[in-house]
Amino acid sequence: MNKIAVVTSVVGVSSFDMYTPKHSNADYFLFTELNCSFPGWNVKKLYPYSIDSKYQNRRTAKIPKILPHQVLPDYDYYIWHDHTNYVSMNPEEIISSYLQI
């Protein structure tokens, strides 16, 4: 069995909603600077990364996107999605179908 992390991040908004994950064969991680909780999500704190005020939020949100193996090192696969979308397909099926394992 593969160890899969589904990852997203939200930075620079005052409130938002997240879907409730429906697949138990992956761990779901939400990176944000807000103190919040959502059923099924492991919320991880993000801290400002850039001193450039124009792009600070975008750059901060990219850390878990481009370096998931650094912030979540114990996983075999990472599925990134924008927080406005959701993973409807079984994550194990995504890995086996699209990576042809």
pLDDT at 22: 94
Q: What is the mean pLDDT of the chain?
A: 92
Q: pLDDT of 57-76, one tens digit each?
A: 989 998 999 999 999 999 99
Which pair of tokens denotes residue 34?
């807000």
pLDDT at 100: 67
- Contact between 101 and 76 under an 8 Å Cβ cutoff? The reply is no
If DSSP codes are grouped into helix, strand and coil, which group holds residue 59? helix
Which pair of tokens denotes residue 99?
């990576």
